[in-house]
Amino acid sequence: MMGSAISSNASEAAEWADKVYAADYEELKEYRDDIYSDVMAYTLNEYKPAVVLSASTINGRAFVPRAAVKLETGLTADCVVLEMNRETKLLEQTRPAFGGNLMATILCENARPQMATVRPGVFAASKDNSRAKGEVIAVSVPKDILKSKMEIIGRENNETASVNLKEYDIIVSGGRGMMTGNGFELLKELADLMGGTVGCSRPVADAGLLDHSHLVGQTGTTVKPKMYIAVGISGSVQHLAGMEDADIIIAVNKDPNAPIFTVANYGIVADGFEFVPALIEKIKAGRK
């Protein structure tokens, strides 16, 4: 853990780990790629773990690969499956390859540590912390490592129509089949009625109809809502990987052979422009 005045955070993390290595410095108060990667590389070199896992967040994608380069080791990004081979002591790192058309398992045989990043939401959080010992270890790093070439001169909020899909229990997603006319206005109305938000497939985000933050899939956000409604989405491998663990999946598509139906709990073969307005009216009528 890196940051400034993080003792309470480290103690909280220690409730879920045997040991927490905490680098607590004023210079780490503001995130900067160069300092964070230097501190991470120094710490890993000092304690020499066999495996390092990290979240593939915006910051994680920036500084963790830099640390791997400094350590002269490999890193597998955006893994969806991680398994330790007890015989070979190798971490089997599986991630989508060739546009998601196949899954590749990657090994780092000759360098240490073995490093991998995982996209948030891919794995469910553990609910059992009974084995945690809760020891916090203060990491001491040389002062020259804490010198950055970057200077933060200010911050500005990015006022865009972004959304955090992970905050919603209900997501109503639209695909290519809803890109004409008022398709996404209908989906937004349905989502609002259900207390959810709107998601989308890749063609919708690429066309600029919704901000990239609404994109569900391997190149967007991996979600696990209580209910996922997919309208006009055929169900590419990339999209399915981002939503197939939802509690309930309802798919609406004109094509009875659409791949989305293979993961759906409920499948409706229908035109979304006919189904969605009918469902909206049913919900409104039930609330009168």
Is pLDDT of 232 > 80? yes
**pLDDT at residue 15, as a whole number:** 87
**pLDDT at residue 98, as a whole number:** 73
Counting residues of the chain whose pLDDT is more than 90, the rounded percentage is 69
**pLDDT at residue 126, as a whole number:** 78
Return mean pLDDT, the chain. Answer: 91
Instruction: DSSP letter for 126, please.
Output: P
**pLDDT at residue 287, as a whole number:** 82
**Single pTM value for the model:** 0.66
Q: Are 184 and 176 spatial neighbours (Cβ–Cβ below 8 Å)?
A: no
Q: Comparing 3-17, 21-35, 119-133, 188-202, which segment has the lowest mean pLDDT?
A: 119-133
pLDDT tens digits, 65-112: 999 999 999 999 988 889 999 999 999 999 877 766 678 999 999 999
Is pLDDT of 132 > 70? no
Please state the rounded mean pLDDT for residues 37-59.
93
Distance CA 204, CA 206 (A): 5
Chain centre distance of CA 74: 21
User: ω before 120 within 30° of 0 (cis)?
Assistant: no
At residue 256 the predicted structure's pLDDT band, cuts being 50, 70 and 90, is: very high
* Exposure letters 225-259 (e unless 16+ CB within 10 A, then b): bebbbbbbbbbbebbbbbbbbbeebbbbbbeeebb
Is pLDDT of 160 > 60? no
**pLDDT at residue 99, as a whole number:** 64
